[in-house]
Every structure is written in structure tokens, then in C-alpha cells.
A and B are shown apart, each in its own frame.
Chain A
Amino acid sequence: MFELRDLYQQVIVDHNKSPRNFGKLARFNHEADGYNPLCGDKLHVYLNVNDAGIIEAVSFEGEGCAISVASASLMTEALKGTPVSEFKQKFEGFQHMVTSDLDELPDEAVMGKLAVLSGVREFPSRIKCASLCWHTVKSAVEDSHKVAKTE
């Protein structure tokens, strides 16, 4: 049986306790709000994309459950240094990982540390917690002024 520890792995507990890239960036040129009305999770992301189109810095602020905070923290690490042009592919890769069939193992070579979040598939009501931050960065990258939702 799927154990709770598979969802709340040490990496997630750790990123929840000490989230990386937490707070407002001193310099940023993209930002967006994310909100999950069901849970009340609130998120704000900041991105600094340089002239070469590389995400030079990314950070987040907000409050939420351990899954949503850890996911946002891990996401900022994964996106730092990524070309904006590759964001869509990463976004889709993450979405696929958290919604795919349980017997499909995450591609750790591609997903890296983000693979620890594949456990949310076992908890359908918690998938949104993991994906809210990704939707929020998508809004920021697209300069959409709508508050990001997971629907």
C-alpha cells in the first residue's frame, strides 16, 4: 500500500520547513498571483527574465499546505537558469507527472528533484496543491493579469 511517507518524503517536509527562494525579488519583471479557493492557498511569484530570455531569478511568497509550499520551493530551484522558451515544456512535464497513471514512474532524469511530488497522484484532492505554483508562473510568464487557478 502507498504509505504516507511516500507523499510526505523528507525532501517535502524539509522544503516546507525552509522554503528556498522565499520572499520578494529585489528586481523582477514578471509576477502573478495564484489562489486555490478550495484550500485557501495563496501564492505570489516573481520572475526576473534577462535579455537573453533566461529566468535569472524566481521567488515566491504565500501560505499553504506542505505540498503547495514544497512544490513552489522545488519549482523555483528547477526554473532558475531555464530559458523562458522551455517553460512550457517543463510545465507540461510537471502536469503530466502529477496526473499520469500510478504505474507510470516519473522520469527522474528529466524531472530531477521534482519527482518527489509524483506521490500526489495517489491523493486526487491534493494534486491542485502541487500544481498551483506552476499555473501561477505560467500566468507570470504570459503576463496574464488574471489570478492563476488550477482549473
Chain B
Amino acid sequence: MDIPYTTSARPDTGLWNAKIGIWLFLASEIMLFGGLFSAYIFLRLDAPPGYWPHGLLNVPVGTMNTAILIASSVTVVLAWAALKMRQFARYKFYMGITIVCGIIFLFVKLYFEWPDKFHHFGAYIREDRLEKYEPYLGNHHLREKGLEMRREITGHLHNEEALHDQNVHEYEIQLDQVNAAPTDPASDRPHFWPLPKTDKIAHVAKEDVERATMFVPSHSTFFATYFTITGLHGLHVLGGVLIFIYFWLPVGANLYKRNPEHLANRVEVAGLFWHFVDLVWIFVFPLFYLL
């Protein structure tokens, strides 16, 4: 039995089935990501001074990933247009590029961006001990300039056992530039170009710390929202790549031989999903990386 309206429009809606289905699905996705973005914005607006980090993410890498996703949107449309013109070889070529772009995006995210965070350490200093760590925080200097105070000392944790061992009483941190030279005017504003590590080591007593972890979701509200939204987005990218691979395999070729318009419609629906996923990233990038 054939499923009706896979290639022709339903008389009452004027659309074929999958087109309605994907837009209903995308409407629910808009609500999902819309809720998460709203949560991010309100959490950020309500964050106490010194608790919301700036410039922690790698902007050049984020920019590259943005360019890759925009390029993949172009190639998926070209793949669909090739199918509409019944140029199957060209469709395979463009779809192959789309798949590669999606895989590169995920690779950069999973093997570079996220692990880089998991090896970075941050300790929030208790309110009554801020003065003790003034050489690393530079809050007097910031106050004079009317800038937001610092509460966190970040860098590479030398003694990782300090995270779990109760007998280790201090963290040994190889400081980031911002804490190594906190009164340097160059540290007044966040750096969006990654700075080299410094050789300066700080010893931070555990009793002076409000909380201290690697840059994992439990580290701060920022990283909780960052990993939630980019993780969910990454799962969507993975879903899109799997669908494209399915269409790129012989399954797609067989469907093309039987009914090329049906494959074109399937690719169009998958392409709509892919565009939505890319559009989400267009909002993620400035919100998390730049602002």
C-alpha cells in the first residue's frame, strides 16, 4: 500500500505530508531552544558581579565552526537543487560535503572545545578572603576604573588530586593571563583571542575558596547553560548528519531510481531541519562567544 501525499500536495492543506510534519516538529524545537535561550538570558542578567565569565571561549574556533555550518547549509540546498534537476552525481557530491562539514563541526566540539574546558580550572574566592588574593584579582584597580570585580582565579591545576583528596589543603594553579597580570590594562577587558599560558603559579588555600572545579557544567551557571545548549545543539547536528548519511548511502540511490521526487522531498525536509539547527548556532555563537 502506498502512503498518499509523499510527493503530491494534499488538497486541503496544499502541502505534502512531510512538509507539515517537519514544520510542526520545528515549532516544538523553537519552543525548546527558545526556553533555553530565555533561561540563559535571565540567568545572566541576574548573575551577581564577578560570577559571569567573559572571554572564556575560543572565538577563532567558534568562528570557524560557524563558517562550517553556514557552508553546510549552502551545500545541502545545492544537493536538493541537484536532485530537482535530476543530477544524482552532483547531489551525492554536495551531500557528501554537507556530511563532512557536520562531522568536522562535531569533531572540533568533542575533541577540542569541550576537552579544553575539562582541563581548565577555576576557583571562586570567598567574599571575606578577596583581599588576600588581591595580587591575582586586581579588584582595587578595577574599582578605580569603574569595571566589574573579579571573584575567580583560573588556570591549569597542577595538583589535580586536590579536587578529591581531603588531605591536600591548597590548589596549585598555573595562572591565566588575566590573573597573572590583573592590573595590566590589557586585562581590563576580556580577550577573545586565546592568550598563551603564563609561568606564574598561585597557591590558593581550600578554606579560602567558595567553590572550585574544572570547567564542567557544575562549575558555574555559565558552564551549565553552555554545556546544556551546545550539547543539545550537538545532538541535533549528529541527528542531521545521520539522516544525511542515510540518504547518501544506496538507500537514497534506490529511492531515486523508483521515485526521484520522493527523495528530493525527503532531502528538502532534512534540509529544513539542518537549516533550523544552523540557525540555532547563529544565535548560540554571539550569545556565548562574543557578548
A-B interaction: no
Which residues of A pack against B, CB within 8 Å? none
Which residues of B pack against A, CB within 8 Å? none
